[in-house]
A and B are shown apart, each in its own frame.
Chain A
């Protein structure tokens, strides 16, 4: 038995699938279709913790990611920083990735300086936030920060001595932090912050990670991790909660980069599920065709 459709599908050029995927991703971008997600418990826990902490709490923002993972993690970094600024916590930015430096600078520019750089409750450098920059040494750098920040780095990213910054007074080490928020794209990152800082020093930690990393980090939740925000879905969940709690202006689409990527994600996933079903259907049809009939 021969089927012209089956023969055509068997010899389908993979470039048609690439074209289909490009259209599935491009259409929601051009039509500005976004997507909201129902928040999951690990995301809710981090959101609630930042809400619960008293104003002026110290939060270490460890941004261990680079431009290749920025698609998933940059919207997350923006969401966490916005939320902390809304609660007026003190922010200490740091990275153990050399490529994390521009990510920190971009986050500070987009959130701290653009949204909270003026007004009554404006964020002032050295008083409300500071940037430690890049710390070389991977896990050793985390370990050193846990015992003495000044030994790990005596100056901030601008070259100012840490003793000259009022935000650093009474902060000899990471132990003084009320929460560590780590945005992690791999090694060194979330796992190392849990192993070398959070667990031995008993500091609450929450991680925002890439989707692929989440299966490695989930075993730490909820005992050693306060919250875990995974991939672009986690970023959308966080933005959804931020928009519900602070609708003005965070319900606006232009303040929700993850939401706008969610629409493309949804359509691409639908196409993938369709292709998986189609591929298995073709496989079964081929097997049926090859089986000799009695």
Chain B
């Protein structure tokens, strides 16, 4: 057994001992979750002593609310405890990549990809195929088969057949003989998206952004005596904005060779861009540290119970 194996074996055994101590020797335990059963109709808590079969016979809808371990009506929740343990172990699997690539990391990564794909399929089935297509084309079928609360006054709108047909045409690409038909819906999407983007972009990003950059370079503001005084802070801010915008635009202006004055201005533009990239990078780091903080809070609070946040 080499030094590295000995070290990691010792770390693993230490972790197991900590878990065993936390599980058996502390009040909170490790990842133990308790709930109280609440009658959704009356809002009353169902006593813990009542059997599950009796509850399901007497109460139409039961809601499970989180509860403290010492609560007299609290019952241990297998599903929530398992959820906490799975989340904690998957977090550790992902963290293990910091040491080196390994099978646990790959397993966790595959689970994330699979769960995400499944979630998107289910959500889009209900929100697009059922809510946007079936309800519009056949509201009675939707009410009977999927959504009982679909309003009775909803009438079928056969205009929605157009997107349905276009959507089906996308699959024509799978059959070589009629693959050309698959280009039509794509052309429709490209055309409508371009049109929609163009109008909104022109207004919100082009005209309004130019207007926001036309700023007074010397700003006067009212002082305490009622007169006007030079507002240094706002003036400097406006000058920086105007210089930054003009130099960046010059950097992306390729019709003139970047020499002499144009070259010097475009050099300032590069500096402005670099500062902006640096700010973006620093803010990304801030976000990633927050993510690490959240996972560690979860591990040490909800799972190990070492702190109470």
Query: 1/0 contact trace for B107-125 toward A, CB 8 Å?
Result: 0000000000001100110
Query: 1/0 contact trace for B288-309 toward A, CB 8 Å?
Result: 0111111011001000001101
For B45, list chain A residues within 8 Å (CB). Answer: none
A161 contacts the other chain (CB 8 A): yes
B231 contacts the other chain (CB 8 A): no
**Which residues of A (264-280) have their CB < 8 Å from a CB of B?**
264-265, 268-269, 272
Inter-subunit contact B284/A212 (CB<8 Å)? yes
For B147, list chain A residues within 8 Å (CB). Answer: 155, 159
Q: Name B's interface SS.
A: helix
Complex Cα distance A210/B197, Å? 24
A154 contacts the other chain (CB 8 A): yes
Q: Which of B279, B290, B297 has the most CB of A within 10 A?
A: B290
A3 contacts the other chain (CB 8 A): no
Complex Cα distance A222/B102, Å? 48
For A160, list chain B residues within 8 Å (CB). Answer: 149
**Known contacts A30-B307, A155-B149, A195-B204; A25 and B292 CB within 8 A of each other:** yes
Inter-subunit contact B284/A211 (CB<8 Å)? yes
**Which residues of B (113-152) have their CB < 8 Å from a CB of A?**
119-120, 123-124, 127-128, 131-132, 135, 147-151
Of chain A, the residue at the smallest CB distance from B277 is A215
Query: 1/0 contact trace for B187-210 toward A, CB 8 Å?
Result: 000000000110011011100110
B285 contacts the other chain (CB 8 A): yes
Complex Cα distance A133/B127, Å? 10
**Which residues of A (118-135) have their CB < 8 Å from a CB of B?**
133-135
A219 contacts the other chain (CB 8 A): yes
For A272, list chain B residues within 8 Å (CB). Answer: 285
Name the one of B123, B203, B205, B287 contacting A210, with C-beta atoms under 8 angstroms: B287
Name the one of A98, A155, A230 contacting B151, with C-beta atoms under 8 angstroms: A155
B221 contacts the other chain (CB 8 A): no
The segment from A46-54, A77-85, A136-144 that touches chain B is A136-144
**Known contacts A30-B306, A211-B283; A223 and B212 CB within 8 A of each other:** yes
A194 contacts the other chain (CB 8 A): yes
A-B CB pair tally, cutoff 8 Å: 144
B280 contacts the other chain (CB 8 A): yes
**Known contacts A15-B99, A143-B196, A155-B150; A212 and B296 CB within 8 A of each other:** no
For A230, list chain B residues within 8 Å (CB). Answer: 283
Inter-subunit contact B149/A195 (CB<8 Å)? no
Tally chain A residues at the interface, Cβ within 8 Å. Answer: 59
B9 contacts the other chain (CB 8 A): no
A251 contacts the other chain (CB 8 A): no
For A175, list chain B residues within 8 Å (CB). Answer: none
Nearest chain A CB to B155's CB is how many angstroms away?
11
Complex Cα distance A163/B149, Å? 12
Inter-subunit contact A215/B286 (CB<8 Å)? no
For B300, list chain A residues within 8 Å (CB). Answer: 26, 29-30
B276 contacts the other chain (CB 8 A): yes
For A194, list chain B residues within 8 Å (CB). Answer: 204
Inter-subunit contact A154/B154 (CB<8 Å)? yes
Of chain A, the residue at the smallest CB distance from B291 is A71
Inter-subunit contact B283/A29 (CB<8 Å)? no
Inter-subunit contact A223/B131 (CB<8 Å)? no
Inter-subunit contact B151/A163 (CB<8 Å)? yes
For B256, list chain A residues within 8 Å (CB). Answer: none
Name the one of B123, B154, B283, B294 contacting A212, with C-beta atoms under 8 angstroms: B283
Inter-subunit contact B287/A212 (CB<8 Å)? yes
Complex Cα distance A143/B204, Å? 14
A173 contacts the other chain (CB 8 A): no
Name the one of B209, B293, B296, B307 contacting A265, with C-beta atoms under 8 angstroms: B293
Could you show 22 A-B contacts with beta carbons less than 8 Å apart?
A21-B292, A22-B292, A29-B300, A98-B119, A99-B119, A136-B127, A139-B196, A143-B196, A143-B200, A154-B154, A158-B149, A159-B150, A195-B204, A199-B203, A200-B200, A212-B283, A231-B283, A260-B297, A261-B290, A264-B293, A268-B293, A269-B289
Q: Could you list 4 further interchain pairs (A-B, Cβ under 8 angstroms) beyond the known A25-B293, A159-B150?
A: A143-B196, A194-B204, A199-B203, A200-B204
- Please report B residues at the A interface, Cβ cutoff 8 Å: 98-99, 119-120, 123-124, 127-128, 131-132, 135, 147-151, 154, 196-197, 200-201, 203-205, 208-209, 211-212, 276, 279-280, 283-287, 289-294, 296-297, 300, 306-307, 309
